[in-house]
Every structure is written in structure tokens, then in C-alpha cells.
Amino acid sequence: MNIQYISYISFALFLLGLFGASYCRSFLSIIVSFQFLILSSLINFLSFALFLYQSLAWDKTFIIFAFISVYILLFSIVFYNNSRQTHIYELDVLRDFRLFKPDKSDWWGDDKIDDN
């Protein structure tokens, strides 16, 4: 596989994580978005190491991906149990974790035309 395609995939994962962290409301979605960011950087580092040193890095790649998948599974189980015990989903104020809150006036402008 060419390093250019690997870079494209890594950049797409990075953008997915960046937009998810910026616009998602729930805390779990933001954590998953940060994990996409970490995964894209890991893919970048491993691809450059593979093409620079010309040695097989599949064993290291498998170990890292297995570690990340187990980490995601354990985090989701712990977060689910903690959120059900603390009743965080009953409060509407705590559900909004977005960094940016775009609305219609951001796209259409705030110009007010006086009818005088």
C-alpha cells in the first residue's frame, strides 16, 4: 500500500475526530472523537516508520490496535455503568458538551432591515 493512501485515510480519520469533538453533544461521542484523533496519529506514525525503516511492523500494528480496541471496550463498559448509576441522562443541562453551537443566524447573517 502506498504511503499516500495511508496518509489520506489517516487525514480522514483526523477530520472525523476533529469535527466530532467540535460538534457532538454527548460526552461519550466526544471521547470517541478523541480516540479517532489518537488513532489517526498512530496510523501516521506507524506508516512513516514502515516506509522509513523498511521492516515489517505488522506485529506492532496488531498489538497496538488490539490494545486500543480493548481500551475502548473497557472504557465504554465503565462509562455506561457510571452513567446509569449517577443518573446523568435525566438532566438536560448536562447533555450539551458542544464546543460550537451554530444556528441559523451564523449562516444567514444577522442583518435587520428596517421597514421605515
For residue 13, how far is the Cα from the chain centroid? 8
Task: Kindly report, residue by residue over 19-62, the tens digit of the pLDDT.
Answer: 888 887 777 777 788 888 888 888 888 787 777 776 666 767 77
Contacts of 50 (CB under 8 A, 6+ apart): 56, 57
| More confident position, 6 or 94 | 6
Contacts of 81 (CB under 8 A, 6+ apart): none
Question: Residue 112 corresponds to which amino acid?
Answer: K
Task: Kindly report, residue by residue over 93-112, the tens digit of the pLDDT.
Answer: 555 666 666 666 666 655 66
- 39: which 3 cell numbers? 488513532
pLDDT attached to residue 55 = 65
